[in-house]
Amino acid sequence: MFSTAFGSSARGFIGGAVITASISYAILHRQTPDKPVTGHVPEKFPFGEPKDMRRTLHYSGHTVYYDFAKKQPLWVSQVLTKESLKGKANRRQSKFRRDGQIPEAFSADNADYVSSGWSRGHMAAAADFKHSQEAMDDTFFLTNIVPQDGDNNSGFWNRLEMYCRDLTKKFDVVYIITGPIYHVNMDDDHVNKDDDHVNKNDDHVNMARNYVKYEVIGNNNVPVPTHLYKVIVAFDEGESKRAMGAFIVPNRPISKEEINLAKYQVGRDHLQLLTGFDFLPELAADKTCDLCTAKGDSCLLKNWKDVEIYFAKRNLQFAASQQDIDAVTKLLKKKNIKVDNNMRALIKSKQIEMNENEAPIKGIAQS
């Protein structure tokens, strides 16, 4: 009796388990219980799941997330401090070059930029790594470079990079992420409205359409970004609040008179929508404040004349002959920039260093 009852129970239990398992399998494989799966179920990826070739590259002073298809970085991160900006590293010793970590077929080449009309634009600026020649040299790998408008590169963008360095005078740490954007444009003439095959009453003909359009350069078809972005987070050690700002700058000439960086400021969420990256996943919004108002900062860039004087002084520091000094003063005169007493003192000091006489430099009025 016991044996019969148990057998009956067991059969019921086993039968129920089989049915339950069949239903579960059917649900998982989108089948119905009354339609059993027959035959071989193929593998989803018989030759392996497609592999994302984009990869993170770590250098001495910066980090790159590299896009093999576009042959350029998607983002570049770095950290600035007062100490990292000190040193004798010299960009004249650095050379633009391919990075051997990247297969040649997936890399830009210097030849791509020749006669292209575009300059080689650093994402992590070389001048940010004065503390180490190796770190500065690393910024010249083409993995850190995108095609950039020459006027923009030497003008507005250069002043933005200087602004970032100046932030180290107000904050202990300045964290920066930089990269290219391929932004949507609009064109009212996306079709030829005089074409006989076009229906003139079609609303689509009369409606402007969005599109993404960009130039490519060289044999490697390196894309030219429509815009560049920069995320800046500045903070003091031990403080909970972080001053944060995100900026998108068009990759074209910007007036040298423009000093208002806040004009190009965008929301953190907006930049995320355009790039697909959450750049600051561990920084809560309520732990940030606006960079352009923190510590009295107004996001104003240097005046272009101040920048010209800055570079003239830098060139004087590296001058190796009287001819080099004359070239600096001649350039300033051409740009209608007066040489002040500080500049004269630097010139005189340089002359003494080169064991030359202290005679006034030709073309400089004496005060």
The CA distances from residue 342 to 196, 320, 334, in Å, are 70, 20, 19
Per residue in 180-198, pLDDT (tens digit) is 999 987 554 444 444 454 4
What percent of the chain has pLDDT above 70?
80
Residues 224, 217: contact at Cβ < 8 Å?
yes
pLDDT of 178 over the 60 cut: yes
Q: How far apart are CA 35 and CA 335, in angstroms?
A: 84
Q: How far apart are CA 153 and CA 307, in angstroms?
A: 13
Amino acid 185: pLDDT: 79
Per residue in 49-63, pLDDT (tens digit) is 999 999 999 999 999
pLDDT, averaged across the chain:
85
Amino acid 317: pLDDT: 82
Amino acid 11: pLDDT: 43
- Active-site option among 29, 40, 58, 122: 122
Under the banding of pLDDT at 50, 70 and 90, the label for residue 343 is confident
Listed in sequence order, the residues at least 6 apart from 366 whose beta carbon sits closer than 8 Å to its beta carbon are 360
Residue where the block lists tokens 């359009």: 213
Under the banding of pLDDT at 50, 70 and 90, the label for residue 221 is very high
Q: Residue 249 is which amino acid?
A: V
Residue where the block lists tokens 């732990």: 287
Amino acid 99: pLDDT: 98
Active site residue 122: yes
Q: Assign 70 to helix, strand or coil.
A: coil
Q: Which stretch of 213-217, 235-239, 354-358 has the lowest confidence by average pLDDT? A: 354-358
Amino acid 40: pLDDT: 76
Under the banding of pLDDT at 50, 70 and 90, the label for residue 302 is very high
Full-model pTM: 0.79
Residues 225, 146: contact at Cβ < 8 Å?
yes
Q: For the chain, what are the domain ranges?
A: 1-51, 55-296, 304-353
Under the banding of pLDDT at 50, 70 and 90, the label for residue 207 is low
Instruction: Give the CATH class of 55-296.
Output: alpha beta
Amino acid 198: pLDDT: 42
